[in-house]
Amino acid sequence: MAREFSKDIYNSQRWRKVAHAYAESQHYVCERCHNRSFVGTGKPPRFIVHHKQHLSPENVGDDNVVYGWDNLELLCIYCHNAVHGAGLDRECLFDDDGNPIGIVDHSR
């Protein structure tokens, strides 16, 4: 769920266009686990365009952080939930085959 300071960004037509274009450029394949289980099913993809550098009140005015493709990552819903697990800044780590190997907690 978007925080108050970023709601306008996530609800904007500009963000939707950027997120859609980025997801298409990645062929709707998760960049961490390579999950493609929703591709070709006719169901809406359960993928989220994620900001590697999380949005904050200090950087929401920086177009490179908000819209720059270098700061974006396409994640399946499972990896995105792992990154933001239980509201903490936790990140799930994966090996080269996409298998989870551990969690890093950035909130400490």
CB 101 within 8 A of CB 95: yes
Average pLDDT over residues 3-16: 88
Residue range(s) defining the domain that contains residue 56? 4-105
pLDDT value of position 108: 44
Please report which confidence band the pLDDT of residue 102 belongs to, taking 50, 70 and 90 as the band edges.
low
Dump pLDDT digits (tens) for 28-80: 889 988 876 655 566 655 788 999 998 899 999 999 999 999 999 999 878 88
| Total-model pTM | 0.69
Q: Is the pLDDT of residue 23 over 80?
A: yes
State the total domains in the chain.
1
**Can you spell out the DSSP letters for 25-70?**
HTTT--TTT---TTTTSSSPP-EEEEESS---TTTTT-HHHHT-GG
